[in-house]
A = this chain, B = another copy of it.
Amino acid sequence: MIKDQFSKLRVRDADRSQQAILVAARDEFAQHGLGGARMDRIAQRVKLNKRLIYYYFASKDDLFLAVLERTYADIREAEEQLHLTDLVPAQAIRRLIEFTWDYYLAHAEFISLLNTANLHQAEHLMKSDCIRDMNSPLIQTLGEILERGRADGIFRGGVDPLQLYVSIAGLAYFYLSNNHTLSAIFGRNLMTPEALNERLAHMCDLILGYVLIDRGDL
C-alpha cells in the first residue's frame, strides 16, 4: 500500500537519517570548525533528535570522521568523472586546473573541513582506513599525462606529479580559503565573477607556462 511504502521510506529510514545527519554535520563543522560546532545545532538542522546522532555516530569526533570520509569519497567520485586520459596533455592539465577550481568554488565546505582536519593534525584521518588510498589514482594519471606531454616534446621533463598536483590545489585553495582575509587586506572583493575568472586565468597561465616548453602553444 502506498501509505505503507511512504511510511517506510519517509519515516524510520535509518540510511536516510544517517545521510541527512552527515549533511547537516558537514555544514556545521564547515561553518564553525570542530570545537565551535554544536551537536544541538546539527540536530536542529536535520530536525532529528540529538540522541539519534549518538545512536548512529558514537561521538562528536566520530561524526567528524564520518563527515571527512564522506567528503573525501565525494571529491574522489567527482575526480573519477574527469577522464583526463581522453584529452591531449595540455588540455588535460587545463581541465584539471579548472576542475579543481570549480570544485573548490562549489564546495566551500571542503576547504573548511580540510583546514579543520589539519588543525587537528589529521588525527581523525589517521583512524580511517578508507581515506588513506584515495588520491593516489589522480597522481598516477597526472604522472602519465606529464610523461605523454614530455614524449610529445611539448612538456618539460622532470616534473614531479605530486608537486604539480599540490601546486594546482594550493593556487586555488589559498585564494578561496583566505578570501575574506585577502579581501579585507587588499580592499578588493576577490569573489566577484570577474575576479574569479581572472584568478582562474592566472592559474592556468602559471601552471601551463611552467610545464609547456614553447609558450607559443598557449
Q: Which B residues touch A175, using CB under 8 A?
A: 166, 170
Residues A185 and B134 in contact, CB atoms below 8 Å apart: yes
Give the segment of A3-11, A18-26, A45-53, A119-127 that binds chain B. A119-127
Q: Which B residues touch A199, using CB under 8 A?
A: 163, 166
Q: Which B residues touch A188, using CB under 8 A?
A: 162
- Interface residue tally on A, bucketed by range: 35 or more
Residues A174 and B166 in contact, CB atoms below 8 Å apart: yes
Interface of A is mostly: helix
Q: In the complex, what residue of chain B is closest to A178 when comparing beta carbons?
A: B118
Q: Which B residues touch A54, using CB under 8 A?
A: none
Q: In the complex, what residue of chain B is closest to A172 when comparing beta carbons?
A: B170
Chain B min CB distance to A59 (Å): 15
A34 to B188, CA, bound (A): 26
A34 to B166, CA, bound (A): 27
Residues A126 and B186 in contact, CB atoms below 8 Å apart: no
Residue A35 at the chain B interface, CB threshold 8 Å = yes
Q: Which B residues touch A173, using CB under 8 A?
A: 170, 174, 178
Residues B33 and A132 in contact, CB atoms below 8 Å apart: no
Residue A181 at the chain B interface, CB threshold 8 Å = yes
Known: A163-B199, A198-B160. A186 touches B36 (CB 8 A): no
19 A-B interface contacts by CB (under 8 A): A32-B119, A35-B35, A35-B37, A36-B119, A114-B178, A115-B119, A118-B177, A125-B181, A131-B184, A132-B187, A134-B185, A135-B185, A139-B186, A163-B202, A166-B182, A167-B203, A170-B175, A173-B178, A205-B210
